[in-house]
Amino acid sequence: MKVYEGKDIRNVALIGHGNSGKTSLAAALLYTAGATNRFTSVDEGNTVTDFDDEEIQRKVTISTGLAFLEWKKCKINLLDTPGFNIFINDTQAALAAADSAFVLVDGVAGVEVTTEKVWQFAEQFQLPRALVINKLDRERASFERALASIQENFGRAAVPVQLPLGAEREFRGVIDLLRMKAISYDPDGSGKGVPGEIPAAMAEAAEKAHEALVEMVAEGNDALLEEFFDKGSLSTEHLLEGLRQAVQESRVFPVLCGAATVGICSDLLLEFAVDHFPAPVQRQSIPVAGAEGDQRREISAAQPVSAFVFKTIADPFSGRVSYFKVFSGVVKNDANLQSSRSGASERLAHIGCLSGKSLQPVTELQAGDIGAVAKLKETLTGDTLHEKGSPVAYQPVKLPEPSIAYAIEAKSRQDEDRMGEAVQKILEEDQSLRFYRDPQTKEFLMAGSGQQQLEVMVSRLRRRYNVDVTLKAPKVPYRETIRGTADVQGRHKKQTGGRGQFGDCRIRVEPLPRGAKFEFVNDIFGGAIPRNYIPAVEKGILEAAELGYLAGYPVVDFRVILYDGSYHDVDSSELSFKLAGRKAFKAAMGQAKPALLEPVMNVEIQAPVEYAGDLMGDLNGRRGRISGMDTKGGTQVIRAQAPMAEMLNYQNDLISMTQGRASFSMEFSHYDFVPQTLADKIIAAAKAAKAGEEEEEE
């Protein structure tokens, strides 16, 4: 396979809301460039970039797919990213390898919630970008309505460089506002247009749009602004060069047209990527993680070798496959590099370029290129590989914490034995997941962005590793506490003939503020209890507190003051005083007004403005408290606090309420008292469950 220099490479991410046509566009671009010999379809399940079984079955992109093509002697690496909120973390991670982006907007729906989110990701990585109004051949598609939506959300810097010829089923091409030509397409899906004259009916609209484009391009360039004022326009050559510079400086965001499924404008998008998007070596140098000051490394083949691993795939046959971008130097086949995190030496045997699931071998990859290698031992997503003797580490992408957790349970003993290793491989692939054991409920929990992401994980465990597990809502980790005080005696006395058992303690119990947990105060004077027995009293109290009093949940946020007691020279022991401590604790709980606590979560919801009223009403019904609201474009951000017990099924309810157009995140905030009517039900249910367990044991 041919080796490309950094100046001849374009790394282009396809980003946008789910179902905006990113995967179809990738297929159209590959076909138009001759990288594939036939147009592949999402509906048929044979696209290059959506090759995973789950993606084919669900007909959505779950993780970023890579493919490459050649156009005008340039190599274009395409990154086809997920567009649904639940899988959006993979998009954010993939943008670390991109140098530019096509932002796809549905010609029917316009800008949607995820469109705004991925736009923010692109801004975070300072990516030059252009917008593509796709699906203009669909019923009810409207270029004007979609453009108005774009400019409302992203400002007047989003300016058309094309106008559509025809609408809906009659959409057959575009007017190129840069060269003032009409370009028409046959409905054969070849993606190659035929230039011609602008229809007379559209001449006035095209001229007006051309003037707006010229004005926007000239606005940020003194030389072009002077030419614009002198001549009233710009030459085609200066307009093209000015637009290229404006795009790369993110001053202008061109708006293009397309209909990916029939290949209209595929060639123009490829032309645009080559002519206006930057090569990796033209972008800023890369900041070095953990370095003092603004230390950076230049993206150049002349620099020492370094590569950033931005994605990992766990393949059951090939093992771990690492996707990497060469940030500096030239990575050669069989190179030996060092991991910045672990310090381990890694041999990059059989490097190649990805086209979906196929790895095309290559002898070397130059600075700016994207490649993949299998079976690295210690290297994970976010790691930097560097030349020995020239260490460097790039900042890994920080993903948000999971918003929802489910209990995961193996279906059989055999599945349980294999589950740990299989889950670990899944976690290597998707770093937005978390797997841990709840110390209170003793359940294994899997946390992620949403129920659908966790269902995909469960399906992959079954398909790839033959491990069957079930998901179920986790138990709510309630706590118990006290509202009042108590002064009690705990006395343990047992005589069985011979040496007996004797322990006696007096304690005062009082509540502590939320989050203070437990405090033990030794207030013994005069040796009423020997010093060596005092820790046993504390241990007995803690053991009893862990078992709970009302419903079997741990007791927290209380202080115990041990102030008196008595002992026997022969019969007293650590065990005796531990048992005395337990009795004292139980007696105190009976007097100190015990109460149930529940975890309260911080919730942030992002949804279209029109759903705000319904969402706030729903949160109120979940005992939630609204703490703040912001509006960003057409998106309403609602911040609230709500009990965890009311939010276990929120993901599905949110999808139903907003037609899948909203997302939310959730994290633990604090514990608060459960309303008494609910507490009574929880206590009754816990006692019934305990009675049932005791009957089974008998």
Q: How many residues does the chain have?
A: 698
Mean pLDDT across 18-43 = 86
User: Residue 463's domain is classified under what CATH number?
Assistant: 3.30.70.870
Question: What's the pLDDT score for residue 696?
Answer: 60
The least confident of 229-243, 347-361, 369-383, 594-608 is 229-243
Same domain, 156 and 242: yes
pLDDT at position 283 over 70: yes
Averaged pLDDT of the chain: 89
Is position 393 within any domain? Answer: no
Is the pLDDT at 146 greater than 60, yes or no? yes
Range in 168-182, 279-293, 623-637 the model is least confident about: 279-293
Max Cα-Cα span within the chain: 115
- pLDDT in the model for residue 190: 66
Q: Write the DSSP string, 416-464.
A: HHHHHHHHHHHHHH-TT-EEEE-TTT--EEEEES-HHHHHHHHHHHHHH
Its pTM stands at 0.78
DSSP output for 248-285: HTTS-EEEEE-BGGGTBTHHHHHHHHHHHSPPGGGSPP
pLDDT by residue (tens digit) across 472-500?
887 888 999 999 999 999 999 987 766 78
Q: Domain boundary at 540, 564, 592, which?
A: 592
φ, ψ dihedrals at 89, nearest 5°: -60, -30
pLDDT above 70: percentage of residues in the chain: 95
Average pLDDT for residues 151-165, to the nearest whole number? 94
Task: Tell me: pLDDT of 225 over 60.
Answer: yes
Domain contains 80: yes
Query: Last residue of some domain: 282, 314, 337?
Result: 282
pLDDT digit string, tens, across residues 501-558:
999 999 999 999 998 999 999 999 888 999 999 999 999 999 999 999 999 899 999 9
Please check whether residue 391 lies inside any domain of the structure: no
Closest CA to 252 of 360, 178, 319, 344: 178
CATH number, position 647? 3.30.70.240
- E-strand stretches of 468-536: 469-472, 479-482, 486-494, 501-511, 518-522
Task: Name the domain count of the chain.
Answer: 5
- Residue 538: inside a domain: yes
Domain containing residue 266: 8-282
Residue 684 has pLDDT above 90, yes or no: yes
* pLDDT for residue 294 is more than 60: no
Which residues 6+ apart lie within 8 Å of 541 measured at CB? 507, 520, 560, 581, 582, 584, 585
Q: How confident is the model at residue 287 (pLDDT cuts 50, 70, 90)?
A: low
Pull the structure tokens for residue 429: 């692939």
Question: Do 430 and 490 share a domain, yes or no?
Answer: no
Given 282, 315, 347, which residue is the final one in a domain?
282
Q: Which structure tokens are listed for 369? A: 């290129």
pLDDT score, position 695: 65
Residue 624 has pLDDT above 80, yes or no: yes
Same-domain pairing of 584 and 606? no
Q: Which of 115-124, 316-325, 361-370, 638-647 has the lowest mean pLDDT?
A: 316-325
**Exposed, middle or buried, 140 (CB in 10 Å: 0-12/13-18/19+)?**
exposed
Q: Is the pLDDT of residue 291 over 50?
A: no
Two tokens at 223?
């030389």
> Does residue 285 surpass a pLDDT of 70?
no
Name the pLDDT band for 41 (thresholds 50, 70, 90). Answer: low
Contact 609, 692 (CB under 8 A): no
* CA dist 337 → 297, 344, 348 (Å): 17, 9, 8
Given a contact cutoff of 8 angstroms between Cβ atoms, the answer to whether 666 and 602 are in contact is yes
Q: Which pLDDT band holds residue 292 (cuts at 50, 70, 90)? A: very low
Q: Are residues 122 and 241 in the same domain?
A: yes
- Does the structure show a pLDDT above 50 at 293? no
Residue 152 resides in a domain: yes
Q: Is residue 686 part of a domain?
A: no
> Does residue 309 lie within any of the structural domains?
yes
Residues 267, 242 within the same domain: yes
Summarize pLDDT for 385-426 with one digit per residue, the tens. 999 988 888 888 888 777 678 889 899 888 888 898 889 888
Output the pLDDT for position 286.
66
Q: Which pLDDT score, from 0 to 100, does residue 162 have?
A: 96
- 96 phi, psi to nearest 5 deg: -65, -20
pLDDT at 697: 59
Q: Confidence class of residue 255 from pLDDT cuts 50, 70 and 90?
A: very high
**pLDDT tens per residue across span 91-113:** 999 999 999 999 999 999 898 87
Specify the CATH number for the domain of residue 379.
2.40.30.10
The residues with which 507 forms a beta bridge, in sequence order, are 488, 562
- The whole-number average pLDDT for the span 30-53 is 80
Q: What is the CATH number of the domain that holds 571?
A: 3.30.230.10
pLDDT tens per residue, range 572-622:
999 999 999 999 999 999 999 999 999 999 998 888 888 999 999 999 999
> Based on the domain organization, do 153 and 244 belong to the same domain?
yes
Instruction: Assess if residue 397 is contained within a domain.
Output: no
Can you tell me which residue has the tokens 């086949």? 333
Lowest mean pLDDT among 5-9, 346-350, 430-434: 430-434
Angle, CA 66 vertex, CA 387 and CA 18 arms, to 5°:
130
Residues 586 and 620 in one domain: no
Categorize the per-residue pLDDT at 44 as very low, low, confident or very high, splitting at 50, 70 and 90.
low
User: Across residues 75-89, what is the average pLDDT?
Assistant: 91
